[in-house]
């Protein structure tokens, strides 16, 4: 008996097919998570680098222009202080947002774990229901 005949003599289960195929797809998606995160990180870093380059280029071009305007030093000091306060505020907001995302992710993972437990419980009930149904069907066949 060759392999094809042996395979065709075994009963095929819908559940086995679905479980196997679903698991393959999920494992493939899961294996791509690190590269997707790295790709997003690379893209975002390139974007931030471009912004930094733009401001650096503007700095070189505008430095000579603004120095030629001979702006009052007191006004520049006030502008510097305002800019520092604004920068500090943005950095604090970025830190708060990072903490918020961290807590949100923890909450989402917890929700998924709770849902997973619920699904397992429901599947146990469903299995018991199917078992009872099969018993009824087999009794009626007699």
Q: How confident is the model at residue 1 (pLDDT cuts 50, 70, 90)?
A: very low
Of 30 and 16, more confident: 30
Can you spell out the DSSP letters for 73-110? HHHHHHHHHHHHHHHHHHHHHHHHHHHHHHHHHHHHHH
Q: What percentage of the chain reaches a pLDDT higher than 90?
A: 67
Per residue in 97-119, pLDDT (tens digit) is 999 999 999 999 999 999 999 99
CA distances from 8 to 1, 12, 39 (A): 11, 9, 44
**Total-model pTM:** 0.63
């Amino acid at each position: 008996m060759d392999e094809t005949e042996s395979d065709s003599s075994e009963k095929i289960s819908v559940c086995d097919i679905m479980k196997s195929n679903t698991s393959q797809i999920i494992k493939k998606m899961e294996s791509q998570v690190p590269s997707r995160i790295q790709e997003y990180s690379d893209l975002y870093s390139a974007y931030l680098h471009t912004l930094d380059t733009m401001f650096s280029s503007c700095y070189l071009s505008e430095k000579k222009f603004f120095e030629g305007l001979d702006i009052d030093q007191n006004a520049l000091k006030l502008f510097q202080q305002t800019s520092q306060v604004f920068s500090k505020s943005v950095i604090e907001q970025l830190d708060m947002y990072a903490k918020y995302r961290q807590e949100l992710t923890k909450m989402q993972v917890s929700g998924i774990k709770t849902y997973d437990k619920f699904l397992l419980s429901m599947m146990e009930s469903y299995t018991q229901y199917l078992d009872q149904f099969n018993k009824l069907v087999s009794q009626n066949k007699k």
